Amino acid sequence: MQRVLSVVGARPQFVKLAPVAAEAARRGVEHVIVHTGQHYDPMLSDVFFADLGIPDPDVHLEVGSGGHGEQTGAMLARMDGVITDYDPDWVLVYGDTNSTLAGALSAVKLHRRVAHLEAGLRSYNRRMPEEHNRVMTDHAADLLLAPTEVAMAHLATEGLAERSVLVGDVMTDVLLKVRSELADPAAVTARLGLVPGEYSVATIHRAENTDDPRRLAAVVAALQRVDHPVVLLAHPRLRARAAQHGLDLHGGSLTTRDPLAYPDLVAAVDAARGVVTDSGGLQKEAFLLRTPCTTVRTETEWTETVELGWNVLVEPGPELAAAASRDQPPATDAAPYGTGDAAARTLDALAGVSG
Ligand code: UD1
């Protein structure tokens, strides 16, 4: 029997972990979960374990927040002992956060095999911490589990084709399952005080948008000028930076509330007329739910959403407010992110390579 050790730490990684943990349990694969503690607020962490039926972490490194070097270094220092103790066949890392890089680096230095789930994504924007994390993780890893054909092509360009396998996107697995199990979606919009089809959901949390006071002010001003209600689900990083810059998030069409639990987010996005975001995951979730997305970034890793007409990239300003009000694009049945079997293909790939 195999032993797989998953390293997670930030909100989107818990979402990706859910279908992998369920599939490992179904197959009787021993699965060790290490939580780095990068995200520690209950609404960014514990609720995902509870709502998505993920077993409690076996190990919690409790690193908390800090600068990139401080945070990544603290994880690295604590990971070594964990990997040595559990002696896994595979260390599985997810996405592009500091927790991803720390897990990969620690494993490769201890000569343990590393698999990177969501490999091959590129923004080619070297100002993004996520871009450093994903490039370095891909080049350190032994097995690259890519979500899309585009990601496979990036890996081939970097000479990594032999280590790459297309497995699809595990976020599709979890989204389809959660949507099919939503007990009462109308109750979610009612609880949020929203009228289905008449509001947009917004999230802004990336350093590029939050850390420059002028850019953040421009994003907020544009959201306040959208011609229909916008509910901004405020990540703690956004609240912290807005307070630091003396910026009031409320006003005009804009109201804020705390981040939502995953099933509530799915219900809220499904019933929305649009999404405005700088999150990678939410761009895809909007596409899978066929809700038009407006992305406040200069590039996206999820180029399929743009090519299929369901996502547009904008700068903060009048362009943003106009894009948020645009009509639905033509329907599509394209499935660039797979059909919900990516976790199974991930476990197949781990079993195949280990023989
Ligand atoms: C991290 C990831 C990003 C991912 C995002 C998802 C990196 C470099 N970035 O960004 O790729 O899209 O998670 O949410 O790994 N904070 C809290 N409570 C928490 C966690 C954070 O208040 O539970 C606040 C702190 O002020 C902290 C700030 O948010 O300094 C930033 O947190 P951090 O983990 O550094 O990065 P994120 O912005 O969450």
Residue 183 and residue 55 share a domain: no
Residue 197 and residue 103 share a domain: no
Give the residue among 257, 268, 303, 271 at the shortest CA–CA distance from 284.
303
pLDDT of amino acid 152: 98
Residue 50: CB atoms within 10 A of its CB come to 13
pLDDT tens readout for residues 311-352: 999 999 999 999 999 999 999 999 999 999 999 999 999 998
CB 38 near ligand 1, within 6 Å: yes
What percent of the chain clears pLDDT 70, i.e. is strictly above it?
99
Q: Give 185: exposed, middle or buried? Use CB within 10 Å, 0-12, 13-18, 19+.
A: middle
Q: How far is CA 303 from the centre of its chain?
A: 15
Domain span holding position 315? 178-324
pLDDT tens readout for residues 29-65: 999 999 999 999 999 999 999 999 999 999 999 999 9
CB 278 near ligand 1, within 6 Å: no
Report the first-to-last Cα separation within the chain, whole angstroms.
Answer: 11
CB 98 near ligand 1, within 6 Å: yes
pLDDT over 60 at 18, yes or no: yes
pLDDT tens readout for residues 188-201: 999 999 999 999 99
- Mean pLDDT estimate for the chain: 96
Residue 212 and residue 147 share a domain: no
pLDDT tens readout for residues 265-322: 999 999 999 999 999 999 999 999 999 999 999 999 999 999 999 999 999 999 999 9
* Cα 220 to middle of ligand 1, angstroms: 20
Residue 196 and residue 87 share a domain: no
Residue 108 and residue 84 share a domain: yes
Residue 117 and residue 239 share a domain: no
Which structure tokens are listed for 249? 């998030």
pLDDT over 50 at 355, yes or no: no
**Atom 27 (ligand 1): residue with closest C-alpha?**
65
* Cα 257 to middle of ligand 1, angstroms: 17
pTM of the entire structure? 0.95
Q: Is residue 32 part of a domain?
A: yes
Q: Is residue 329 part of a domain?
A: no
**What secondary structure does DSSP assign to 88-117, as a single string?**
-SEEEEETTSHHHHHHHHHHHHTT--EEEE
pLDDT over 70 at 353, yes or no: no
CB 236 near ligand 1, within 6 Å: yes
Residue 306 and residue 157 share a domain: no
pLDDT over 90 at 113, yes or no: yes
Q: Is residue 258 part of a domain?
A: yes
Q: Is residue 330 part of a domain?
A: no
Residue 280 and residue 250 share a domain: yes
pLDDT of amino acid 111: 97
Residue 57 and residue 147 share a domain: yes
Residue 131 and residue 250 share a domain: no
Q: Is residue 307 part of a domain?
A: yes
Q: Is residue 333 part of a domain?
A: no
CATH of the domain at 100: 3.40.50.2000
**Atom 21 (ligand 1): residue with closest C-alpha?**
39
Q: Is residue 230 part of a domain?
A: yes
**Atom 13 (ligand 1): residue with closest C-alpha?**
10
CB 123 near ligand 1, within 6 Å: no
Element (H, E) at 6: strand 3-8
Helices within the chain (DSSP H only):
11-27, 46-51, 68-86, 98-109, 129-140, 149-157, 170-181, 185-192, 207-210, 213-224, 236-244, 262-270, 280-288, 303-307, 318-324, 342-354
pLDDT of amino acid 354: 43
CB 151 near ligand 1, within 6 Å: no
**Is 60 assigned a catalytic role?**
no
Residue 163 and residue 29 share a domain: yes
Pocket mutation for ligand 1, best pick of 65, 121, 126, 204 (most atoms within 8 Å of C-beta): 65
Number of domains composing the chain: 2
pLDDT over 70 at 171, yes or no: yes
Q: Is residue 163 part of a domain?
A: yes
Residue 192 and residue 259 share a domain: yes
* Cα 353 to middle of ligand 1, angstroms: 33
Which of 31, 116, 205, 235 is the catalytic position?
A: 205
